[in-house]
Structure 1
Amino acid sequence: MEKNKHMRSRVLYVAITVGMVVIGLASRRFPVLGKYPGDALWTMMVFFGLAAVMPALSIARLTIGALVISYAVEFSQLYQAPWINAVRAHPVGHLVLGSTFNWPDLVAYTAGGLMAMLLMTVLRRYK
């Protein structure tokens, strides 16, 4: 029974992750609100990706994990070696790693983590 519960959860979390990717790419293509909604959605995607891989994790651990990954990627942008800049120059590399460190991105990631936490709380409450 417990295994089926986690399998259903994984399917839902993968679907939400894919949805976050689609909405995030759309927010970059049509930046009506600027780049920050895409940053918040990126952290939400990481959150639900982690939930798909480890569905039994608490909401707090998922939030911390998503924020640690998001912040680490942002701070990694301070490192500007030629090899990593070549990776960042590729469209996929740019989407995953970004290119330029920006303090306000950390605020957007935090907002995304909080929104994901709220969404997960609602999902788990109404399951």
Structure 2
Amino acid sequence: MLKYAAAIVITIVLGLSSRRYSSELPDVISDNAGDILWASMVYFGFRFILLKRKLVWAVCLGIIFSFGIEFSQLYQAQWLVEIRRTVVGSLILGRGFLTIDLFRNVIGIAIAYGVDKYGFKRSMNTTQFWR
């Protein structure tokens, strides 16, 4: 559980940093990192909540949730637009629908899944080896 909480915090810090320092990063990173990291954070959030479930649950729910947020950007009610104009609202809900963001979401969730399945497993095995 602690590893997912740490992964969420690290992903948020990386995501905010990618926005803050976007002018110093290569365009391919500054254009894509925020959405990829946001989707990774969503995956880790579902893993944190659904710790006892299989990884596929976090993948599926992460895709459904992130696609839901992206498609909700097509709805432009004034009250929702006002929320999206705030810093927190734009970080959570985004600002406008972009098809490319759906691909970025899938990539972010796939990366987080890979880290979860192979990176966390490897670190757990290494820790157990030394105990």
What TM-score, normalized by structure 1, do the two folds share?
0.88
Q: How far apart in 2 are the matches of 1:108 and 1:35?
A: 10
Unaligned runs of 5+ in 2: 125-131
Check if 1:113 corresponds to 2:109: yes
* Partner SS for 2:92: helix
Q: How far apart in 2 are the matches of 1:103 and 1:22?
A: 25
Q: How far apart in 2 are the matches of 1:126 and 1:87?
A: 40
* CA deviation map 1:21-42 (0-9, x unaligned): 0000001112222231110110
1:25 counterpart letter in structure 2: L
Residue 24 of structure 1 is matched in structure 2 by 15
Q: How far apart in 2 are the matches of 1:56 and 1:116?
A: 17
1:17 counterpart letter in structure 2: I
Matching residue within 121, 124, 127 for 1:124? 121
CA apart distance, 1:125: 5.1
* Partner SS for 2:66: helix
Question: Percent identity among equivalent residues?
Answer: 33
Considering only aligned residues, what root-mean-square deviation do their CA atoms show, in Å? 1.1
Unaligned runs of 5+ in 1: 1-9
What TM-score, normalized by structure 2, do the two folds share?
0.85
Which runs of 4 or more aligned residues in structure 1 lie more than 6 Å from their structure 2 counterparts after TM superposition?
none
Q: Which moved more, 1:18-27 or 1:116-125?
A: 116-125
